[in-house]
Amino acid sequence: MAQTVPATTKWWNGGKSPFNVEYGKLMMWYFLMSDAFTFGAFLISYGSIRFSSNSWPDPNHVFNAVPFFEGSHLPLVFVSFMTFVLIVSSVTMVLAVHEGHKGNKKGVIKYLFWTIVFGLIFLGSQAWEWTHLHHEGAWWGSNPFPNADGTVASTNFTNYFFTITGFHGFHVLSGVVINLIALLMTSNGVFERRGHYLMIEKVGLYWHFVDLVWVFVFLFFYLV
């Protein structure tokens, strides 16, 4: 076992965590792995149904609306905006973690604040998109969009879309709430007294995971 870790440190001699991570961070990793299987199961189920269908609605004709440009046909525009918002929020999160490493309370507060703002912008965008689709008659069990080949589509498309983006959106919402709690704890000096900002790292892991899932939701619902 010892040959896989640096020779200078005897990780398995006791007194140290062999993985050199705090218990909570390790468990966050395993939780995220299980969550990856949950999302993976959703997306593979969606992929299987789509693969077994002769035709499927064209995302470019379904997701073509942009706020303030109602009635215009602009595929991919709004979802690109949402994707970049989430990427930027991931960057501010990793900067918050970085400030935590330096023990800079003000920096952590600043970047956590911006992460929460971008998270809320994402949630607002998703709420707008859901509302827009709902007005067009799309919901669980109701699909107004025809297949790409012109035939009438089943409700599989909307069922999967609302279930998976809803599940992801709920993760974003919980991420925002968790970030908010971490922000309040930081500004109250909890981590300063504790001497480390490991909690920000764990919160950050969860937030990056939400961005990671969006990469695949964006890919399989909007792009391909």
Partner 1 sequence: MEHQTFGGEVTVPHEHNPGAVSKIIRTTVILSVITIVELILGYYIYTLHKNPDFSHNFVLFLKGIIIILSLAKAFYIVSIFMHLGDEIRNLIMTIVVPLLLFIWFIAAFLWDASSWKNLRNEYAPKDPVKHEQHAEPAHEGGLK
Site for partner 1 in 128-187 (CB under 8 A): 148
Does residue 116 contact residue 80 with C-beta atoms inside 8 Å? no
Q: Please tell me the distance from the alpha carbon of residue 210 to that of residue 172, in angstroms, as a whole number.
A: 6
Q: Please tell me the distance from the alpha carbon of residue 78 to that of residue 126, in angstroms, as a whole number.
A: 10
Choose which of 120, 121, 185, 198 interacts with partner 1 (CB under 8 A).
Answer: 198
How many positions of this chain bind partner 1 (CB under 8 A)? 67
Single-letter amino acid, residue 200: I
Does residue 93 bind partner 1 (CB under 8 A)? yes
Q: Using CB under 8 A, which of the segments 112-120, 133-141, 152-160, 205-213 binds partner 1? A: 205-213
Q: Using CB under 8 A, which of the segments 29-37, 134-142, 158-166, 179-187 binds partner 1? A: 29-37
Does residue 68 bind partner 1 (CB under 8 A)? no
Single-letter amino acid, residue 172: V
Closer residue to partner 1, CB minimum distance, 50 or 139: 50
Q: Please tell me the distance from the alpha carbon of residue 109 to that of residue 106, in angstroms, as a whole number.
A: 5
Q: Is 8 left (phi over 0), alpha (psi -120 to 50) or beta?
A: alpha
Sign of torsion over alpha carbons 161, 171, 213, 132: positive
Binding site for partner 1 (CB under 8 A): 4-5, 9, 11, 16-26, 29-30, 33, 36-37, 40-41, 44-45, 47-54, 58, 60, 75-76, 80, 83-84, 87, 90-91, 93-95, 97-98, 101-102, 148, 195-196, 198, 201, 204-205, 208-209, 211-212, 215-216, 218-219, 222-224
